[in-house]
């Protein structure tokens, strides 16, 4: 499949993509309707030329990349930074993390005319893309203006490898347009090489997600929250999705039968789920407080209806469940819990973090629960055995600490590209 056929196919699908983003996603989150022309390559006049463009697909990537981006800001003050994203929540997190110190925009859909306009107008000094956002037209037009393309924190599962191999000609074109790729581990590196990436373009740096830490401000916020919640058994369900919310609520109702003082902190993954989860809690008969409002210590549930707080919210609990895993979603980042020495429970679907969970499990810092019944059993154990819960959390943190350093190694890669 050539890039021409890919581009033509995408062009034919463009009306459906636009309808989906504006009307379907926009109905759930009006932020999708804002700055909509940027999806098709319109470039805001305030965006600077010859910037470092760093693409973070959504909130998770923004949070993971934030420490790296701040180091780039310190070391390369002469170069403005544009952080692009795909989602309104990603854009909101960029504004929260960096205020006016960076520029932000939506990355255009990978239509030929859109990405050509985007790259031709901005003439970036360097294009940095997190993880596996592999866009044929974006990379092609970046190369046309002699802009290096760096893929960092890169990962590629066996399943994704097989998918790309079905379109080997297009995949080879993508690989040819990558200047350097910093992979999570040697296995990921080998998969990219199988797709046609030259071996001298690959370096193994580890995952920057292991370099997660709490800022002084987050530590102070955590201390304040702990004082409000009091001394009681607490578990947190972070980054939960529809299909999981009701299971989490059911598990907590079971826990309350054995431990009436137990508190559930539930943090839906997407803000458009805050009110639906509130409705589910009301329907279940459980009283709850909202993080955005006043906390009532008599309530058995705290709904975390705020953005960007999950990393320190994990630290208020005795044990954490990481969502997107009781449904076939692939899971979310367990290392945010590990950063606060909180042990991790997960459902069986963890393929998005297949490079992290095996290490956490081997270190006895995380456990996989096959379903909600096993989740209930493990929660019952850890909420009644504080020593076991602390040990699980300490093991998780030890695993995290032993894998840190990827940010500095990745920064060396970026430095070398900017010095060329």
Residue 106 CA to residue 116 CA, distance in Å, equals 15
Within its chain, how far is the Cα of 242 from the centroid? 18
Q: What residues are paired with 285 via a beta bridge?
A: none
- Block residue for tokens 């255009």: 108
Does 331 score more than 90 pLDDT? yes
Using pLDDT thresholds of 50, 70 and 90, give the confidence band for residue 352: confident
Q: What residues are paired with 367 via a beta bridge?
A: 345
Q: Locate the domains of the chain by residue range.
A: 24-206+405-418, 216-402
Token pair, residue 301, equals 């549930």
Q: Among 124-133, 155-164, 315-324, 363-372, name the one with the lowest average pLDDT.
A: 155-164
- What's the fold here for domain 24-206+405-418? Rossmann fold (3.40.50)
Which position has the higher pLDDT, 365 or 64? Answer: 365
Q: Is 374 a catalytic residue?
A: no
Instruction: Say what the pLDDT of residue 19 is.
Output: 96
CB 76 within 8 A of CB 53: no
CB 61 within 8 A of CB 93: no
Using pLDDT thresholds of 50, 70 and 90, give the confidence band for residue 119: very high
Mean pLDDT, rounded, for 316-329: 97
Of these residues, 61, 93, 131, 336, which one is catalytic?
61
The whole-model pTM stands at: 0.84
Does 110 score more than 80 pLDDT? yes
Same CATH topology for 24-206+405-418 and 216-402: the answer is: yes
The model's pLDDT over 171-214, given as tens digits with 9 standing for 90+, comes to 999 999 999 999 988 999 999 999 999 999 999 999 999 998 89
CB 109 within 8 A of CB 40: yes
The sign of the CA dihedral 228, 234, 238, 244 is negative
CB 345 within 8 A of CB 370: no
The model's pLDDT over 203-244, given as tens digits with 9 standing for 90+, comes to 999 999 999 889 899 999 999 999 999 999 999 999 999 999
Instruction: Say what the pLDDT of residue 1 is.
Output: 55
216-402, which class in CATH? alpha beta
Does 338 score more than 70 pLDDT? yes
CB 329 within 8 A of CB 241: yes
Does 343 score more than 80 pLDDT? yes
Mean pLDDT, rounded, for 82-99: 95
């Amino acid at each position: 499949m050539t890039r021409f056929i890919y581009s033509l196919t995408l062009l034919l699908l463009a009306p459906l993509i636009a309808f989906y983003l504006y009307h379907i996603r926009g109905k759930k989150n009006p932020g999708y309707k804002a700055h909509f022309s940027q999806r098709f390559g319109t470039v805001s006049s305030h965006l600077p030329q010859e910037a470092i463009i760093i693409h973070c697909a959504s909130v998770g990537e923004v949070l993971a990349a934030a420490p790296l981006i701040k180091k780039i800001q310190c070391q390369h003050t002469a170069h403005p930074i544009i952080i692009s994203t795909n989602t309104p929540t990603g854009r909101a997190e960029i504004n929260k993390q960096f205020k006016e110190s960076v520029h932000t925009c939506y990355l255009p859909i990978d239509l030929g005319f859109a990405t050509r306009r985007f790259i031709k107008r901005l003439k970036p000094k360097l294009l940095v893309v997190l993880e596996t956002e592999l866009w044929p037209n974006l990379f092609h037009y970046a190369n046309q203006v002699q802009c290096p393309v760096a893929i960092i924190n890169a990962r590629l599962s066996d399943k994704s490898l097989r998918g790309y191999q079905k379109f080997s000609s297009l995949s080879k074109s993508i690989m040819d347009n990558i200047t350097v790729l910093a992979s999570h581990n040697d296995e990921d590196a080998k998969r990219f090489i199988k797709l046609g990436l030259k071996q001298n373009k690959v370096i193994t740096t580890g995952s920057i997600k292991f370099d997660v830490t709490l800022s002084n401000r987050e530590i102070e916020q955590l201390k304040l929250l702990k004082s409000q919640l009091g001394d009681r058994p607490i578990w947190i369900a972070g980054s939960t999705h529809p299909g999981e919310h009701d299971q989490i609520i059911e598990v907590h109702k079971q826990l309350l039968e054995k431990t009436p003082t137990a508190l559930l902190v539930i943090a839906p993954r997407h803000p458009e789920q805050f009110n639906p989860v509130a409705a589910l809690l009301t329907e279940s008969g459980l009283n709850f407080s909202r993080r955005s409002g006043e906390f009532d210590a008599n309530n058995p549930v705290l709904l975390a209806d705020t953005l960007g707080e999950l990393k320190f919210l994990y630290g208020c609990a005795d044990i954490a469940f990481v969502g997107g895993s009781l449904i076939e979603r692939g899971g979310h980042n367990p290392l945010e819990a590990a950063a606060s020495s909180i042990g991790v429970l997960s459902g069986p679907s963890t393929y998005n973090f297949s490079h992290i969970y095996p290490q956490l499990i081997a270190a006895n810092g995380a456990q996989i629960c096959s379903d909600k019944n096993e989740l209930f059993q493990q929660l019952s154990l850890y909420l009644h055995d504080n020593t076991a819960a602390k040990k699980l959390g300490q093991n998780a943190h030890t695993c995290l600490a032993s894998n840190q350093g990827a940010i500095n190694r990745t920064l060396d890669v970026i430095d070398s590209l900017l010095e060329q």
